[in-house]
Amino acid sequence: MEFLETIWTFIKGLIGDFDTFLKDLVNFDQLAIDFYNNVIAPFPEWVKILGALGVVIVLVFGILSIAKKMMKLLIVIVIILAIVVLGRMFLAA
């Protein structure tokens, strides 16, 4: 059991080192804060509200579009499975 704990500690150490490396390299948090302060903050509040509503509308329509495609895919898969199952039943008889 100690062997597994040693492996787990090693993996956690690798992930922690990689996470620290990415934090130092990319500094994503500071990039996002700088983008907000330099680009979005100077806009008036009504522009920010309209922008947020626009983003929400795009996200909702995007999610609905993906859901429609998944439903179509599900229907196609069900039809193919039905054909395969019925074909095996009739060929076996």
CA distance 82 to 3: 49
Question: How do residues 8-25 score in pLDDT, each as one tens digit?
Answer: 888 877 777 777 777 788
pTM score:
0.57
- Could you tell me if 81 and 74 are in contact, meaning their C-beta atoms sit under 8 angstroms apart? no
DSSP state of 36: I
Q: Is 40 in contact with 48 (CB distance < 8 Å)? A: yes
> Could you say which DSSP state residue 18 is in?
H
Residue 61 pLDDT grade (very low, low, confident, very high; cuts 50, 70, 90) = very high
Report whether pLDDT(93) > 70: no
Integer Cα distance of 84 and 19 in angstroms: 48
